[in-house]
Chains A and B, each alone.
Chain A
Amino acid sequence: MIFSHRKNLLTFCLGFLASGPGLSAAPEFSLTPRTTDLIENYCIDCHEDGSSKGGIRLDNLPGLSLDARLDLLNKMQEQLHFEEMPPRKKDQPAEEERAELISWISRELGKHNASKLEDKLRMPDYGNYVNHDKLFSGEYAHLKPFTPDRRWLISEFIFDAKFNKLLNHKPFQTIDGKREFVIGENNRRVNLTNPFLLPTNTGVRYYDTATLNGGHLLTMLTNAKNAAAYMTGHLAARDRNYLPSFNAIMAEEDRHNSILESRKRFLDNFIEPVLLELYGKKHQSLLPEFKQLSVTEAAETETKKAPFHAANPGKEELVIIFRSMRRLEKEGDTDAQLITRCEREWFYFGHNERKIQARVTFLRNYMEEWRQQIEQHKYDERNRRFDYKPLPESEMHIVGTTIRKHRKKGDRYQTIIEKCMTDWRQGFKQERKEAGPPAPELVAKLIEELFAKIYERKPTAKEIAKYQALTGNYLTSLGNLKGVQKLIQTLILQSEFVYRNEFGSGEPDEHGRRMLTPRDASYAISYALTDSSPDEELAKAAAEGRLNSREDYARQVIRLLKKRDQFYVIDEAVQRLNETASITDLPIRNLRFFREFFGYQKMLPIFKDRKRFGGDYDGSKGRLVGEADRLVEHFLKKDRNVFEELLTTEKFYVYHSGDNGHMTAASDRIRRIHEYFKDKDWQNFEKEDLLEHKEFLAEVKMRGVNVDELEKKGRRNPIREFKRALTSFAIRLDEGETGAAPYVSFPAHGKYNADTRTGRRLQSPEVAKFYNIQLDKWNYPGVQPAKVEHRKGMLTHPAWLIAHAQNTETDPVKRGKWIREKLLAGTIPDIPITVEAQIPEDHTRTLRHRLAGVTEEKYCWRCHQRMNPLGYAFEMFDDFGRFRTEEALEHPDNLIKKGPDKAEPHVDLRDTYKTLPVNSKGSLEGTGDDKLDGEVANALELADRLARSTRVRQSIIRHAFRFYMGRNERLTDSKTLIDADNAYVQSGGSFNAVVLSLLTSDSFLYRKAKPTS
């Protein structure tokens, strides 16, 4: 058999070569005897006619159609490259043999430009396919690292920061009592849609591989229109320095508009006296005949009447009504007379009939309430009477002439005004037309200003010329305003706006690498650490030639890493959930690296059952994620042994703002109140008893207990509030607890709760339930992070556990996969298409048991052995991240007791089910360290061992590389990775040292024009 293949393959090959001489092009397919040997030795046994494993045959390779052959060669290339083939139990080719075979395939695919591997290796999923040991062995450290020249599509975060800056959107928050400008709050006045959303996977999400597509552009088209309208409308009008040349172009039109406005304002207020002056007695006869509207009388019924706020015609209308009433009211008038007089005025003004009808209906039905409102809201002070003041003489002359020209008998005032306005508007338009288009120098200045705003650079002379021509066309065909808007749109839609440029310049070094241009470098550094373009100092350094060496980069990076004068919103979604503070003053991207690496925020969109949680899940989830962020920030600020701390910390934030002083005081306050009253008979207190403690109460302030108003009134019941609060405090402190969680009896009642750092109510104490902490038995620590039982590191943080679980069950596979890929630099192939990834339902067995049944079969276990044993260790936690020793078999058949549906926060609302003991034994394999590999009793032991592993440390470094470079590492980056790893070790575990090392590495500094594979 072998011979026959050999013969087939060789014959084909020789035959082809024989026809070769005389042809200048490379032969379409060529097999050398050496490649034939290699295929014979390592592949053909399994992949030939009759034994074609996995449906792959190689014996007929030469005879295949071109497409089929390229397809097969691509598969072979991938399998060989990733060392998936030959299978591990078979004879393995030597490294050179493998390289030889791969290079032959590359040559063959190269002929048709058909290699898919190169593209694939760029993708985030393939990051770990570069051999870990090779990367860190030092064997490749002599290679010269570089990044290819590239355009990198902006991220969702950069999109927001860019537009916020362009559109002067400057949101402020009160943080630690001070008003601070924050980046990352995107509630703009302009309606923009962010098309550059990053994928939602955990790990590194922002890669340079994304490209703009039709959907992006279509969205950007609308964004550009909205932004342009806002820039030329709201912004340019408010700030004359925003786009001075635009204002200059619009100067004449603006002047005309302000004249028009002043005439209109004047006429709207004083047309009646003006007409009386112009027409004297004749005026009355020119007015139309007043016809009163018929307005339906309100029926007399028992019906509940809608209150004033739900029935008035709106603020602006109320002011109009008020002014008419004040102008026309006379002593002794009845309401009906006044209403008719108003109606007559509105009729002569020519207000819309329906509006008049609505006003009259409103006045008839709500006059009493309306008069109260006028008083209460000080309408008289706020809407003072207009005193008649004529316009300058020349203007009065124009006004008078135009009115005389247009007024006809029967015209209402608004008709007269509109006719005059149209006349003037047309005249002005004609004037502007005669004045001609704006001067070319002015247009050139506008282009410069727009380049500065949109691209943050000066245009070249060539660009100015080109855009002058384009703008000229726009202005002619669309007019000044729309023309300039179109120009803005054109600039926003260019690739320069939506991509960040990173190109090298200058003379290439001996390896063909060039350093980033200083400008591109300034953006690269700034975008590495933040979402914003370079700050003033960095931009200045780039412009003044101080961004040309590694030392220059280092100086800037160190400065930015230390910078603490800018606050960022970490996650707007978290901020929105129960007013959780989600802010940091760290360079946002450093925190975001760990956030996305761990992926704990991915718990937010998971829809979970509050009953199964046993409390207010939706209220608590924002707090849980916010506190995970706070923990990461805590260790990043300490910047010592960052990875180890994050993987093994036993201290967590639980219902804590991050401000130890404030939280301690808030907790102490409750204890103080409790101490003060605990031995008194407060359960039976009456008003008089409370008054005896007036001074104390005035000092400590309790919600709903105002010592000056202790009597019951309406919904106010101070005695009840007092007792409710004390009962709740007693529950938390009566067993000798050392501290109480600082919330009032109901967490939503925030006034005297602790505050968040942004000055909002600190809500959701039920976050403690994730940690098995009972609110009524908690020695609340005011100083946090503080030790929590049964926890070790971020992988035991409930947010991480929920993010890596199913809606109603844990997910050892997902958890194991995360560890394998993120911490052990391992790979797991995609689920084969033939596999139905489902765990059978069976309410008599634990999840682990059921999962093992379907994944531990031979075929599945090949891959699952890389995940399950790691994930099993986390079975000590349930799908809410709560520690457990027993697994509840949640099924109606197993129900033992129903929990309450509603209760105070300390009560557990869960139903009780039958249980089975949990088995959280697992095993660790793949650290490359015999002392660490092996069985583990549970997740805590696993976390300990992971934290001690060199491989884990290096795996995090690899992910950091991807995060800061926006691409996968290659063997040529070996030196960069080793340096970053050394920087971490030598600095005692400083993550800043890692970032500094990466951002001053050759991989970051150097670019090559043409990517090499």
Chain B
Amino acid sequence: MFNRRNFLKTSALGAGSLVLPGFSAPLAGGAPKRFVFIRKSNGIRPNEVTPPTFTEEQKNLDKKKEAFEVDLDRHELPAWLQPIARHKANLSILQGLSCKMSENGHWSYSSVMGAFKSGRNSLSGIKRTTIDFEMAKLFPSPFGHVELSLTGNYSTFRTGIVSGYSAPGPHQRNYCYADPRTAYNELFKSVLNPDAVDSDNAMLEFLEGEESLKADLIQGYEKLKLSNHIESIDSIRARNKKLEKMSGTIARHLPKIAPIHDNGGPNASTPEKQKAMTDILTAALITGLTNVVTYTIDELSTPIKGIKGNEGDHISIHELGHNGGYSGVPADQIREKIRVGHMEQVNAIVEKLKATPEGNGTMFDNTVVMYFPENGEGHHSHGTEAPFIILSGEKSNLDMAGRYIRLPYHATAGHKTIGNWYTTLLNAYGNPIEHYGDFDIETARKKIDQTGAIKQFMRA
């Protein structure tokens, strides 16, 4: 299924997985492209994203899971999607992708963004660089990639820098910022804590001196090893310098984080945490610190605290999946409220980027925001469906905005998997890989071709 020529091309691109992220070389179109991946837990049920104004015929097709496409401007969005209704022209509701080759059930860990089975989150199960890191390679930035998460142990939130869900390479797990204050301090350190940066620089300078002394004593291949060590130190120093130079821009766009988030924010409510994360996420993009953000907005263990109508309740998302209600409010209603909260954040991201000029348009023009379930179509998912809510700017390389698209159902002719979708992203933005991710097994058994991008989404 892979042919040699393409393999060489893609592996040449892939080989840089461990190379220090460089800096955006002046791109042909000027501005870099940006990607926001928002992972949510508990699945997205396919019928939840169906516009209520569908005709009987459309409803029928949707129910039978037959492929069709509709322009969204003629339809109303489901209630929970109302917060993003203003951006309908940028919106695609993508139905019918399957994710059976990643992990389903309750959790998928790294696997949903890598299209592999990760063997219950084992390190050696991480088979390849996840899609976000692949995209980050195409649009380098000082941080390369930023991962945020709001997760917990059911009663409290995780805080600090913790292990993440994305993978910078096979067998490697990324780290992520687990609370807004940590994310803020780490990302904007060059402005907030110049002393720490200075001491880092002093250390790097010392290290460089030490290795140079050793390198002077040797020759040949061995010298190369030390000169690589020195160059590596150099490249990190260069990155720090670059960040120093950016401090003006960073200072201008520094978000305001409320004191409630200090010390990990033990008293912050879930919506407060989400809002602060959104501010940080957009600032990281606007300052140019990164062009790719992966954000786990919730996970089954994320405590839900302080949502409207259930202010005093300590809600477990997992329990909602098993239909447990709180303070007399049924699970489905709370689930919907949580999703509405998510959409308010997605809207805030889009609004903020649309309000930030770039070139002759806005930053959002060059941005794609994806909101999707980590595990598939429900609380206990099988992975046959993984609805994606996608918002893409006008200069996006994808041709799909403003439409409700239902692709052929799992393991039928023309069916597409998350692997096809990620391949589409890669192909559309400059990585010619023939296919990203593992294949769907049932489709393979039926000998239905499942390689490559989703052609209809590629701009001609």
Interface residues of A (CB under 8 A from B): 119, 122, 148-151, 153, 191, 193-195, 197, 200, 209, 211-219, 221-222, 295-301, 303-307, 310-315, 317, 352, 354-355, 357-358, 360-362, 365, 470, 473-474, 477-478, 482, 486, 489-490, 493-495, 499, 571-573, 576-577, 604-605, 607-612, 618, 807-808, 831, 833, 835-838, 841, 843, 890-892, 1010-1011
Contacts and interface: CB of A to CB of B under 8 A. Distances in A.
Interface string B265-287: 01101000000000000000000
**Closest 9 interchain pairs by CB?**
A314-B155, A361-B312, A214-B20, A299-B328, A306-B324, A215-B18, A310-B319, A573-B124, A303-B325
A149 B125 contact: no
Contacts of B202: 473-474, 477
A1010 B314 contact: no
B314 A313 contact: yes
A572 B3 CA distance: 33
Contacts of B269: 354
A612 B441 CA distance: 10
A571 to B, nearest CB: 8
Interface in B137-165: 154-156, 161-163
Contacts of A306: 315-316, 319, 324-326
A818 B301 CA distance: 46
Contact of B314 (A119, A213, A311, A891): A311
Given A361-B327, A573-B125, A607-B441, A477 B225 contact: no
Given A474-B199, A477-B195, A486-B199, A213 B313 contact: no
8 contacts: A148-B220, A296-B309, A310-B324, A495-B214, A577-B119, A807-B444, A891-B447, A1011-B221
B293 to A, nearest CB: 18
A246 to B, nearest CB: 18
B348 interface: no
Contacts of B120: 576
Contact of B207 (A195, A197, A490): A490
A565 to B, nearest CB: 27
B203 A490 contact: yes
Contact of B211 (A495, A605, A843): A495
A214 B447 contact: no
A305 B312 contact: no
B441 A358 contact: no
A470 B202 CA distance: 9
A572 B123 contact: yes
Contacts of B87: none
B175 interface: yes
A258 B66 CA distance: 68
A609 B444 CA distance: 9
Interface string B303-328: 00110011111111011000111111
Contacts of A360: 312
B173 interface: yes
Interface residues of B, number: 88
Contacts of A296: 309-312, 327
Interface stretch (B229-237, B243-251, B362-370, B395-403): B229-237
Contacts of B309: 296
A377 to B, nearest CB: 15
Contacts of A311: 313-316, 319, 324, 326
A191 B269 CA distance: 27
Given A358-B305, A835-B4, A352 B225 contact: no
A352 B3 CA distance: 62
B58 to A, nearest CB: 31
B316 A1010 contact: no
Contact of A495 (B206, B229, B231, B439): B229
B328 A303 contact: yes
Given A310-B316, A494-B210, A215 B328 contact: no
A321 B118 CA distance: 41
Contact of A305 (B195, B305, B325): B325
A225 to B, nearest CB: 9
Contact of A310 (B163, B312, B318, B446): B318
B60 interface: no
Contacts of A833: 4-5, 8
Contacts of B214: 495
B117 interface: yes
Given A197-B169, A296-B311, A473-B202, A213 B323 contact: no
B102 to A, nearest CB: 10
Nearest to B226: A495
B124 A604 contact: yes
Nearest to A218: B20
Contacts of B323: 304
B185 interface: no
Given A215-B18, A572-B124, A892-B447, A836 B225 contact: no
A194 B172 contact: yes
Nearest to A621: B119
A897 to B, nearest CB: 15
B3 A838 contact: yes
A847 to B, nearest CB: 14
B371 interface: no
B329 A499 contact: no
Contacts of B312: 295-296, 357-358, 360-362
Contacts of B314: 311-314, 358, 361-362
Contacts of B222: 148-151
